[in-house]
């Protein structure tokens, strides 16, 4: 159905229907949006409910985030629902922000979620409007845009909701984008001969969602920004328990202040290894190779008592202990099983010890492991299929148990949630570009996780080439940037001069539309002048006056892990 003929059939003014739709206000009506619904045969096996359309007009809104430059935008929010053919009348809602006709730049943008949410509201879509794109989110069919996947994961205890799992895994995003691209074309009457460029942007779970598309639907997007992806999900979630398990085994639970002091001393000791003392550990690899945590033993730490939101904590006053340093050391090396074989990886030195945090128990007046629900719920709900949001305790949980949970979840969800398919040959052939970035000091998802996937793709696709020819071949369509000092999906309070590259969407647009492949990323005016493309690493010389991206084999090797605790490849 061509929207203009339908618009005429509905008796709307023909001035709305010409290729330059007149105004945002004229687009932003239920009638106009209904005529533009993507009811064409897109091969999706879905049925759109035309009576579900709703619209809302927003003008003069100032938006800013880590994902685009501050802008003032006008947009129409158009929401509609569809159901899956052959499934008992399920309902999936999608919502698209539509820019004004004079700002529309023949672009579509899909955006992702975070944690166990499949969307991030308008956090990323606003940036899409700012670059003249129609920008979409999905509710995954979970009941509302605010309902998370874990809320619908169980049909009953013991019974997985596989439809919701495949929707979260990849299917909902495929549908969001396929519908969104056609909807965009219909809304603005873009002729068949003209291209509508299609993009994706997301971080964390949203980074995983982006990869779920890149690995399966080679030409769905022209360009993707996938940041700090939550892929290798079974390992990632289970590993959130690793610090607590190490502490249980050691029988020592460091107060948060003690770990924070070790982090501060690590940053101070490693800051200059990149050639510039600016509070940023831009070479956490050199830090890993050269810094000895034992140098911090005996250093005093102090944190005042707090009644903060996370529960009251007492004053913490002491000196860094041998026990805490031992935990920091094995934690940073990444989890190993009882036979000494590598299970997984952890954040770079200088990062916060988020997965080793303890919490104060006022009843026992002692510190105990803080069990992050992303980790605990992975075990209780997603592996054991109990209607429980966390483990009660880590007591009795061994490193070998963590390994076996990882393997079990990896097998169970290999084709839905794991998201580490390493062969991007079809993506390369389609000409799609992927800009992958990760904060070097990410304490929620280790930056080495992204390096491991990049290197898996390199070995699978170009393993017969030399290392440098292999990375050159990847450079044609897939580039990874490690953001010095960066935390999880944004700048780092502990290393503020690291900054964060907020122009990544524009960067991938320039790569796709103008062939301007990015060699570096800017870091939003902070001290590190640019962010190097993996495997190059930043290095200052001349006492911090001159900056370069250099190749250093020993540093690159320090990011490499072989997960030999598993008898199968872990990409
Ligand atoms: C937009 O908002 C700004 C500040 O909120 C206000 O000063 C300006 O008048 C508004 N412009 C329009 C066209 O509404
Ligand atoms: C789905 O909805 C249609 C229309 O509302 C109804 O006729 C049909 O019985 C429903 N199917 C199921 C399986 O609930
Ligand atoms: C799980 O528990 C919550 C409340 O604790 C309840 O609302 C929900 O219906 C339960 N789900 C299942 C599948 O039993
Ligand atoms: C660590 O350094 C930060 C400043 O970056 C400071 O606010 C904090 O108090 C320090 N923590 C400890 C335990 O000394
Ligand atoms: C911390 O403890 C040391 C040694 O007991 C003491 O000298 C110091 O005053 C204490 N610091 C604070 C701020 O209470
Ligand atoms: C390096 O620069 C810092 C400040 O920029 C200065 O304090 C220091 O003296 C310089 N060191 C040398 C060896 O020039
Ligand atoms: Ca530095």
Q: Whose CA is nearest to atom 4 of ligand 2?
A: 89
Ligand nearest the Cα of residue 277 is 7
Atom of ligand 5 nearest to the CA of 304: 13
Decide if pLDDT at 54 tops 80.
yes
- Mean pLDDT score of the chain, rounded to an integer? 95
* C-alpha 156 to ligand 3 mean position (Å): 8
Q: Any idea which ligand is nearest the CA of 155?
A: 3
What pTM did the predictor assign? 0.94
Which is catalytic among the residues 204, 351, 416, 449?
A: 204
Residues 28-51 have pLDDT tens digits of 999 999 999 999 999 999 999 999
Choose the residue to mutate in 254, 261, 264, 320 for probing ligand 4, maximizing ligand atoms within 8 Å of C-beta: 264
3-state secondary structure (DSSP) of residue 110: strand
Which pLDDT does position 528 carry in this prediction? 79
**Tokens representing residue 62 in the block:** 């100032």
Rounded mean pLDDT, 142-151? 98
102 is catalytic: no
317 lines ligand 5 (CB under 6 A): yes
Question: Tokens standing for 106?
Answer: 């023949």
84 alpha carbon to ligand 2 midpoint, in Å?
12
**Which residue owns the Cα nearest ligand 3 atom 4?**
387
Mean pLDDT of 370-384: 97
- Positive or negative, the CA dihedral 538, 539, 543, 545 is negative
Q: Residue ranges of the alpha helices (H) in 362-440?
A: 373-377, 399-412, 425-430
Protein residue with its CA nearest to atom 10 in ligand 2: 89
How remote is the CA of residue 412 from the centroid of ligand 5, in Å?
A: 52
Residue nearest to atom 12 of ligand 3 (CA): 156
Q: Residue 439: enclosing H or E segment and its boundaries?
A: strand 433-439
- Active-site residue flag, 442: yes
What would the pLDDT profile of 191-239 be if each residue is shown by its tens digit? 999 999 999 999 999 999 999 999 999 999 999 999 999 999 999 999 9
Asked if residue 6 has pLDDT above 50, the reply is: no
- CA distances, 29 to each of 50, 56, 145, 271 (Å): 13, 8, 21, 56
Instruction: Write out the two tokens for 448.
Output: 């080495």
pLDDT of residue 89: 84
Would you say the CB of residue 51 lies under 6 angstroms from ligand 2? no
Ligand 4 shell residues, CB under 6 Å? 257, 260-261, 264, 301, 303, 494
Exactly one of 120, 488, 530, 555 is catalytic; name it.
488
* 108 contact partners, CB below 8 Å, separation of at least 6: 133, 134, 135, 136, 177, 180, 181, 184, 196, 197, 198, 199
Distance CA 305, CA 408 (A): 42
* Rounded alpha-carbon distances, angstroms, from residue 122 to 27, 41, 223, 351: 20, 28, 20, 29
Using DSSP, state whether 459 is helix, strand or coil.
helix
Helix (H) or strand (E) holding 51: strand 46-65
Asked if residue 280 lies in contact with residue 528, where contact means CB atoms within 8 angstroms, the answer is: yes
| Per-residue pLDDT, 412 | 98
Structure token digits, residue 355: 């997965």
Indicate the helix (H) or strand (E) that contains 355. Answer: none
**pLDDT at residue 503 above 60?**
yes
Q: Is the CB of 88 under 6 A from ligand 2?
A: yes
Ligand 6 center to 442 CA (angstroms): 30
Q: How far apart are CA 487 and CA 446, in angstroms?
A: 9
pLDDT tens per residue across span 393-415 = 999 999 999 999 999 999 999 99
Given pLDDT bands bounded at 50, 70 and 90, which one contains residue 14?
very low
Q: What is the distance between the alpha carbons of residues 266 and 560, in angstroms, rounded to a whole number?
A: 21
Residue of 436, 442, 456, 555 marked active site: 442
**At 88, is the pLDDT very low, low, confident or very high (cuts 50, 70, 90)?**
confident
Q: Which pLDDT score, from 0 to 100, does residue 1 have?
A: 36
pLDDT range class, residue 371, cuts 50, 70, 90: very high
What is the atom index within ligand 3 of the atom nearest the CA of 155?
A: 13
Residue 89 in contact with ligand 2 by CB distance below 6 A: yes
> What are residue 29's phi and psi, to 5 degrees?
-130, 155
Place of tokens 């992702």: 112
Helix, strand or coil, per DSSP, at residue 520: strand
Going from the Cα of 65 to the center of ligand 1, the distance in angstroms, rounded, reads 20
Record the tokens describing residue 293, joined without a space.
């945590």
Q: Choose one of 255, 258, 260, 262 to mutate for the ligand 4 pocket test, by most ligand atoms within 8 angstroms of C-beta.
A: 260
Tell me what pLDDT residue 417 has: 98
Asked whether residue 140 carries a pLDDT value surpassing 50, the answer given is yes
Residue 514: exposure state from Cβ atoms within 10 A (0-12, 13-18, ≥19): exposed
d(CA 274, CA 286): 8
- Record the tokens describing residue 366, joined without a space: 């002692």
* 452: three-class secondary structure by DSSP: helix
d(CA 197, CA 181): 8
pLDDT of residue 529: 78
Half-sphere exposure of 10 (CA within 13 A, CB side): 18
Is residue 204 part of the annotated active site? The answer reads: yes
Largest alpha-carbon pair distance within the chain? 81
Least distant ligand from the CA of 484:
7
Q: How far is the centre of ligand 5, averaged over its atoms, from the C-alpha of 362 (Å)?
A: 22
């Amino acid at each position: 159905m061509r929207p203009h003929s339908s618009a005429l059939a509905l008796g709307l003014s023909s001035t709305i229907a010409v290729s330059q739709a007149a105004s945002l206000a004229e687009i932003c009506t239920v009638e106009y949006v209904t005529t533009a619904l993507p009811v064409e045969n897109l091969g999706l096996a879905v049925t759109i409910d035309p009576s579900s359309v709703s619209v809302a007009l927003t003008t003069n809104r100032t938006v800013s985030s880590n994902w685009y430059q501050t802008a003032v935008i006008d947009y129409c929010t158009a929401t509609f629902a569809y159901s899956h053919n052959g499934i008992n009348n399920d309902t999936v809602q999608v919502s698209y922000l539509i820019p004004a006709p004079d700002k529309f730049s023949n672009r579509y943008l899909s955006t992702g979620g975070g944690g166990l949410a499949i969307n991030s509201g308008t956090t990323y879509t606003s940036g899409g409007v700012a670059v003249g794109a129609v920008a979409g989110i999905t509710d995954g069919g979970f009941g509302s845009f605010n309902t998370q996947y874990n809320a619908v994961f169980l049909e009953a205890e013991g019974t997985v909701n596989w439809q919701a799992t495949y929707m979260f895994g990849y299917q909902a995003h495929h549908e969001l984008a396929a519908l969104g691209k056609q909807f965009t074309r219909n809304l603005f009457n873009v002729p068949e001969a003209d291209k509508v460029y299609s993009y994706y942007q997301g971080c964390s779970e949203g980074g995983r969602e982006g990869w779920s598309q890149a690995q399966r639907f080679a030409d769905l997007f022209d360009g993707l920004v996938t940041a700090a992806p939550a892929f290798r999900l079974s390992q990632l979630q289970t590993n959130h328990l690793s610090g607590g398990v190490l502490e249980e085994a050691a029988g020592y639970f460091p107060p948060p202040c003690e770990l924070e002091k070790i982090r501060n001393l690590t940053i101070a000791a490693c800051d200059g290894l990149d050639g510039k003392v600016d509070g940023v550990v831009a070479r956490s690899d050199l830090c890993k190779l050269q810094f000895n945590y034992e140098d911090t033993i005996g250093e005093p730490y102090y944190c005042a008592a707090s009644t903060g939101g996370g529960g009251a904590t007492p004053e913490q006053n002491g000196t860094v202990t041998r026990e805490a340093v031992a935990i920091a050391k094995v934690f940073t090396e990444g989890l190993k099983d009882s036979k000494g074989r590598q299970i997984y990886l952890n954040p770079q030195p200088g990062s916060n010890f988020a997965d080793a945090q303890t919490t104060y128990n006022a009843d026992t007046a002692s510190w105990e492991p803080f069990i992050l629900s992303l980790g605990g719920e992975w075990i209780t709900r997603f592996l054991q299929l109990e209607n429980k949001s966390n483990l009660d305790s880590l007591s009795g949980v061994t490193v070998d148990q963590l390994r076996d949970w990882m393997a079990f979840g990896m097998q169970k969800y290999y084709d839905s949630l794991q998201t580490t398919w390493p062969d991007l040959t079809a993506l390369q052939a389609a000409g799609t570009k992927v800009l992958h970035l990760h904060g070097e000091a990410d304490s929620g998802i280790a930056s080495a996780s992204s390096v491991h996937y990049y290197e898996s793709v390199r070995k699978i696709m170009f393993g017969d080439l030399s290392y440098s020819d292999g990375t050159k071949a990847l450079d044609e369509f897939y580039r990874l940037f490690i953001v010095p000092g960066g935390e999880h999906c944004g700048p780092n309070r502990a290393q503020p001069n690291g900054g964060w590259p907020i122009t990544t969407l524009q960067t991938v647009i320039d790569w796709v539309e103008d062939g301007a492949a990015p060699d570096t990323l800017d870091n939003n005016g902070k001290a590190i002048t640019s962010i190097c493309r993996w495997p190059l690493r930043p290095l200052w010389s001349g006492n911090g006056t001159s900056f370069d991206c250099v190749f250093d084999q020993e540093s690159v090797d320090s990011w490499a892990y072989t997960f030999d605790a598993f008898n199968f490849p872990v990409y």
